Each structure stands twice: as structure tokens, then as C-alpha cells.
Amino acid sequence: MKREKRLTKRERKALAPPRPAAAPAHVHHIHCIACGRHLEPEEMQTGEALMLRCQHGSTFPSCSGCRSRSIELLAEHDRTGQAVRTASAWH
């Protein structure tokens, strides 16, 4: 009995076109360090989001509502010298 050749899962995967790049490099993604929410550049203008500066002079984005939590995160980072424990980004 003649059977049509079927591709294995791995073979199909190899034939699949490569995934398109996640996001164009020129799109600047900023996320609140305290809650991980995506922040639009316009929110910086409207005051819904702000940039906070740590003692080393690096800036970190934050929602205005997360301000105090973000400041705590930066204070901890400055105290310990560890990377800022940013929340995982989401959309």
C-alpha cells in the first residue's frame, strides 16, 4: 500500500517561514518599573507617566500612580547596588 509521505512535526517546523521580528527597533518600548504596564510616550507629556532618576543618574519610567512604589524600588537599587527589580512587562 502506497502512503503519501507525511512531514514530521520537526520537518514542518523547519519549513515554516521565520517569524517576523517582534517589534521594529525604532519603536521605543517603555514600561513602568513598578507594575510593568506599557507606557505611551504621550503619557510622559500628560503626566500620567514620569521618569524617575536613581542616584547614579539613570532614568526609569513609571506610572504616576506607581510613583511611590517605583521610588522604593530605586531606593533599594541604590542601597544594594543591585539592578532595579522591575516588574515584568505586559501589554
Residue with smaller CB distance to Zn ion, 12 or 29:
29
Q: Does 71 bind Zn ion (CB under 5 A)?
A: no
- Cβ atoms within 10 Å of 11's Cβ, excluding its own: 11
Q: Does 53 bind Zn ion (CB under 5 A)?
A: no
Query: Which residue has its beta carbon closest to Zn ion?
Result: 32
Give the separation between CA 60 and CA 70, rounded to whole angstroms.
9
Kindly tell me which residue out of 35, 44, 67, 71 binds Zn ion, with binding defined by CB under 5 A. Answer: 35
Kindly tell me which residue out of 2, 3, 56, 79 binds Zn ion, with binding defined by CB under 5 A. Answer: 56
C-alpha cell of 83?
A: 539592578
Q: Please work out, in degrees rounded to the nearest 5, the angle formed at the alpha carbon of residue 52 by the alpha carbons of 50 and 58.
A: 130
Q: Does 66 bind Zn ion (CB under 5 A)?
A: yes
- Cβ atoms within 10 Å of 88's Cβ, excluding its own: 7
- Applying CB under 5 A, the residues found at the interface with Zn ion are 29, 32, 34-35, 37-38, 54, 56, 58, 63, 66
